Chains A and B, each alone.
Chain A
Amino acid sequence: EVQLVQSGAEVKKPEEFLRISCKGSGYSFTGYWIGWVRQMPGKGLEWMGAIYPGDSDTRYSPSFQGQVTMSADKSISTAYLQWSSLRVSDSAMFYCARLLRGEYLDYWGQGTLVTVSS
């Protein structure tokens, strides 16, 4: 069974560092891209970008380029999304999902809620 399990909710202060994780199981983790999707409170889904854990090739949406960093550790089947300096406006739910053929997201993690507040 394909599963993506994300790390738990985070409460951070502005300018702090944060890395959230997404662990895949039940399939060849290195053979599929992992996409990240943001959902701000009460709002819709936004495409952030994707990473290929096999070689860490990364593609960012222009809206998120330079704002976040995607990485992966294929030895533990885990993808990461990190912020070097959080802003209040980064508060949102973040989902990872398996990207099939670069076209659609077939399996989703349960989401990680990030709250940034002073």
Chain B
Amino acid sequence: QSALTQPRSVSGSPGQSVTISCTGTSSDVGGYNYVSWYQQHPGKAPKLIISDVSKRPSGVPDRFSGSKSDNTASLTISGLQAEDEADYYCCSYAGTYTLVFGGGTKLTVL
């Protein structure tokens, strides 16, 4: 199972919107509506911010949204805040109790 493809880095100014893409195949992203996204600040454990392509767990700001088209999922962060600076990982279901992660994207808030 190959890792999903994410841009290595993205950046934006406070208040702007950024979108992080996550490209897989028909065996993972394209085959199921089970894409999740995780935020990881330096030295911290990852935190779930999106499940099932577009669902936000309780407590996650609605500035975070997810979508999917064919084999590519996307995470959009609107109204960027300094605290959003972190690494972001997409993840897809790829079969029974099998997950595959993206390589991660470093978000810099300018």
Contacts and interface: CB of A to CB of B under 8 A. Distances in A.
Interface of A: 33, 35, 37, 44-47, 49-50, 59, 61-62, 95, 97, 99-100, 102-111
A62 B1 CA distance: 8
Interface in B8-67: 32, 34, 36, 38, 40, 45-48, 51-52, 57
Given A44-B3, A107-B48, A108-B45, 18 more contacts: A37-B101, A44-B89, A44-B102, A44-B103, A45-B91, A45-B104, A47-B91, A47-B100, A47-B101, A59-B98, A103-B32, A103-B99, A104-B34, A104-B48, A104-B91, A105-B48, A106-B48, A106-B51
B1 to A, nearest CB: 7
Contacts, number: 72
Contacts of A99: 97, 99
Interface residues of B, number: 26
Contact of A95 (B34, B46, B98): B46
Contacts of B48: 104-108
